[in-house]
Each structure stands twice: as C-alpha cells, then as structure tokens.
Amino acid sequence: MKNNNWSIAGVIAAAVVVILAYSSFYVVDPSEQAIVRQFGKVVRVDVKPGGYFKVPLLQDVVYFSRQVLDFDVDRQEIILLDQKRLDVDAYTRLRIVDPLLFFQTVQNEAGLRARLGPVIQGAIRRVLGDVNLQVLLTNERAELMQRITNSVALEAKGFGVDVLDVRLKRVDLPVANSEAVYQRMSSQRDQEAKQFRGEGQQESLSIRANADREQAVIIAEAKRTAEITRGQADAQATKIYADAYSRDPEFFAFYRSLDAYRNALSGDTTTLVLSPESDFFRYFNSPGASPGPRK
C-alpha cells in the first residue's frame, strides 16, 4: 500500500516538474517581440528571436508583433480651405519598435487604435484644412500625405511605434453635397443639350432655306431655258412650215389635212356630223382638189 502511494506521489511530482519546466520556457518567434512581467511589472524585454526562461507561475509573457501593421482610421468629415466638405477614409502602416514603451502607454493594439486614431484624424484635419479641393486633386497630394505622416510619426514615437505611412483610402463628397453636385451637373448638361438642339435647329433651318432658295433658282433657270428652247424650236418649226408651204402649197395643204384626219378620226367610236360639201372632206371627194374659198 505504501509503495502504491509512493508511486502516485512520484507520478504527481514528475507531472508537476514537467509542467513547471514547460511553463518556465518560452520562445520568441522572428515575427514577434516579447516582454516578461512579474506581478504586473515588466522585468525583462526580449526583442531578439530565440528561446528564454522565466520563473514559472510568477512571471508571464506578453507578445507583440514585429511585422508592419495596417491600421484603419474612422471616416470623418473634413472642411477644406475653400469650404468644400469631404468624407475621408484613411489608413496608416506602422511597426512596434519599443515594446516596453508600447506596453506602458497603450498596452495592446486595441489601446493603440484608441490613442492613435484621434491623432491621425487631427493631423488630417490640420493639413487638409489649409488647402483647396483643387490642390487635393493634383500631384501635391503626395506632399500633403507626407506632411500628415511626419506629424503622426512624431506623436506616435511616444507610444513606441514607428509610423511608416498615412494614406487616404477614399475621399467622397457628403451625400447631400453629392446630390447637389449631381443635380447641378444634370442641369448644366440639360442646358448644354438645349443649346445644342437650338443651334442644330437653327442650322437645319438655314440649310433648308438655302436649299429651297437654290431649288427655286434652279427651277427658274430651267424654266427660262425651257421657254427659250421652246421658243427657238417653235420659231424653227414655223420657219420650216413656212419654207415647206412656200415650196409646194398644195402638198402642204394635203399634209396638214392628213394630220387633221388622223387626229379627228383616231378613236374607234368617233362620229363626225358634217356636211359632205364641207371643206374638211375635200380630199375624200376629189383627192386632187385644191382648197377653195370658204363659204
């Protein structure tokens, strides 16, 4: 019975020793840095990666990242020098360089966000409040961000933090301003559209008037040319008729009578009621007769 008790006691003692040995050893990863506390007071700062020992149960280890951290800043409204309002989203990139000072001032990353956030917002307001919106949209923006970074980095040293960069993630007009700008742009576009339509209609009327005038001129010229040509043709035809009549009046009279017969008797149901003694039928009665005096 005593041997069993001693065996159990030995196992417990061995377990306690293993636990104490395990809890007395800790490792600092290359991506981390650590401080050792005893009863809440910092007793050692282990910056270099490697394995270390501590007093078990009395001391504990707090780890901090050695890597670059991204820290988003809450959106805020900025009033620029020209009284333009902007909603600004920003972020910063930083690294913990003094874990002891970092722990003593802010303790952890949540504490850093609570302390450093207002600092970044204040720096953004100070720098952007001295410039116009037009400057913010030019290449001078990089210089403005460098001024903000330098201002934040100076104050962040008191937290054991090295601020590498502060950047604007997004810059928007407030909702009310955006709607006003949209309405103003829409109104300007409507005015431009109306102006373009008016100018187009004016140009259309001018082109149509010029075309109508040119059409009238062309038609008048064509009619004048046609009348001249027709007059010349009539004169030439009259001359030809006159020449033909003067050469052989009998044949000319016969030819004209044939034309008259052709025109008067062209239809299938044409009926003429004339006297057989009419001069119209003289070539039917006597083909060789010459026209006599009308009675």
Whether 228 is covered by a domain: the verdict is: no
Among 172, 201, 223, identify where a domain stops: 172
Whether 194 is covered by a domain: the verdict is: no
Cα–Cα distance for residue pair 183/62, rounded to 1 Å = 56
Same domain assignment for residues 277 and 290: yes
The pTM of the full predicted model, rounded to 2 decimals, is: 0.54
Cα–Cα distance for residue pair 101/61, rounded to 1 Å = 15
Whether 221 is covered by a domain: the verdict is: no
Strand ranges, E, within the chain: 25-28, 32-38, 41-46, 50-53, 59-65, 69-79, 85-96, 161-172
Q: Cβ(163)–Cβ(156) under 8 Å?
A: yes
Whether 207 is covered by a domain: the verdict is: no
Whether 238 is covered by a domain: the verdict is: no
Helix axis angle for 140-156 and 109-128, nearest 10°, is: 140
The residue assigned the tokens 């950047």 is: 167
Whether 202 is covered by a domain: the verdict is: no
* H or E segment to which residue 158 belongs: none
Q: Which domain holds residue 159?
A: 69-172
pLDDT by residue for the chain (295 residues), tens digit each? 555 666 666 656 666 555 655 567 788 888 889 888 888 788 888 778 888 877 777 788 888 888 999 989 988 888 888 888 888 899 999 999 999 899 989 988 889 999 999 999 999 999 998 988 888 878 888 899 999 999 999 999 999 999 999 998 888 877 665 566 667 778 888 888 888 888 888 888 889 888 988 988 899 889 888 889 888 888 888 888 777 777 767 777 777 777 776 776 666 666 666 666 666 666 665 555 555 444 3
